[in-house]
Amino acid sequence: MFIDYVEIEVMAGDGGPGCVAFHTEKFVPKGGPEGGDGGRGGDIVAVADRHLRTLLDYRYRRKYKATKGQGGGGSLKTGKSGEDTILRLPVGTLIKDLETGQLLTDLDEVGSRTVIVRGGKGGHGNAYYKSPTNQTPRTAQNGQPGEIKRIALELKLLADVGLVGLPNAGKSTMLSSFSAARPKIADYPFTTLQPHLGIVKLREFKSCVMADIPGLIEGASQGKGLGHKFLRHIQRTRLLVYVVDVNEQDIQATISTLQNELKSFDENLVKHPSIVAITKIDTIDENDLKAVSKELPPDYIYLSAVSRMGAKDFLQRIEYSLDQQ
């Protein structure tokens, strides 16, 4: 469940063909063979990039190709090599060969680099075949084809953003509205019994992992409701979102309740960067919303996970907070 998984095809570049050419110069009859070798095809190289967190971008593009080597030229010129194609992947990505099941690499450190498929060698030009018995070879070799593999990218996800709220606050609805995850949603408390993760696209090439966890109630630390052990799933998140239903009688008191429960699990949790998201704003009319927002700090975000009102603001705030760290 907590694994991001994508299958793609990677094709290294073919080697360029060797060249058949002979030396030509005024007054030099019968110049020798001078066809150069073809260039190597480009490799496909996987690199661990610390700025990436998910494999989301690889879901949209499934084929990656490196460029071909160029053909050799006259005057013993070797063809230009093809360019490598770099696959930037999050740290912690495992790459497996789908045909053999073999683990090709584990990008376990920032900067880890592995060649996944090698470009083909360039073919020899005719100069290569010159020998005492064959002074004028007229053949050259084709380049070798680049390797092709179907590979699986597999990443164990760690959540960046944790949703914390009372039961029924709308956490699961939020996750399903912003990601492809489909946690159960229902109009009764304690619908969510275990954490769900989803990948939220913030903008192109930028995404984060959001965790939806069970609802928290006053006294959870004493075992009320579902207890609070599930909070360990958000202990390593970089940002907490307090999710509060706009219809809640006392929004500030609700946030304090949530914070007290977090504190009794782990003091450090309340020191995490956080955002307050007041949700379900589609359920009250504009004037009531104005009245509510007047009484609350100006940096709270108002949104509806159903109508997606305020969604853009919310995602921007998440992006900004994650960027600050």
Ligand X SMILES: Nc1nc2c(ncn2[C@@H]2O[C@H](COP(=O)(O)OP(=O)(O)OP(=O)(O)O)[C@@H](O)[C@H]2O)c(=O)[nH]1
Which residues in this chain contact ligand X in the complex, by CB under 6 A? Answer: 165, 167-173, 185-187, 189-192, 214-215, 279-280, 282-283, 304-306
CB of 242 to Mg ion, least distance (A): 15
Q: Which stretch binds Mg ion (CB under 5 A): 46-54, 149-157, 172-180, 273-281?
A: 172-180
Q: Could you give the residue ranges of the DSSP H alpha helices within 179-307?
A: 251-265, 286-294
Check binding of 172 to Mg ion (CB under 5 A): yes
CB of 46 to ligand X, least distance (A): 37
Q: How many CA atoms lie within 13 A of 151 on its CB side?
A: 27
Q: Which residues contact 280 (CB under 8 A, 6 or more apart)?
A: 170, 245, 246, 247, 304, 305, 306
Structure tokens at 35: 């066809």
CB of 175 to Mg ion, least distance (A): 8
- Would residue 101 be called left, alpha or beta, if left means φ above 0 and alpha means ψ between -120 and 50 degrees? left
CB of 267 to ligand X, least distance (A): 24
CB of 185 to Mg ion, least distance (A): 7
Residue 291 touches which member of ligand X, Mg ion, none, C-beta under 5-8 Å by kind:
none
Closest Cα to residue 164, out of 268, 62, 274, 271? 274
**Contact residue for Mg ion among 114, 139, 191, 235 (CB under 5 A):** 191
Residue 253 touches which member of ligand X, Mg ion, none, C-beta under 5-8 Å by kind:
none
Residue 68 touches which member of ligand X, Mg ion, none, C-beta under 5-8 Å by kind:
none
How many residues in the chain?
A: 325
Phi and psi at 260, nearest 5°, equal: -65, -40
CB of 257 to ligand X, least distance (A): 14
Computed on alpha carbons and rounded to an integer, the radius of gyration of the chain in Å comes to 30
Which amino acid would we find at residue 266? D
Q: Which residues contact 20 (CB under 8 A, 6 or more apart)?
A: 33, 35, 125, 126, 138, 139, 140
- Identity of the residue, 41 or 165, whose beta carbon is nearer to ligand X in the bound complex: 165
Q: Which stretch binds Mg ion (CB under 5 A): 30-38, 85-93, 168-176, 273-281?
A: 168-176
Which residues bind to Mg ion, rule: CB under 5 A? 172, 191-192
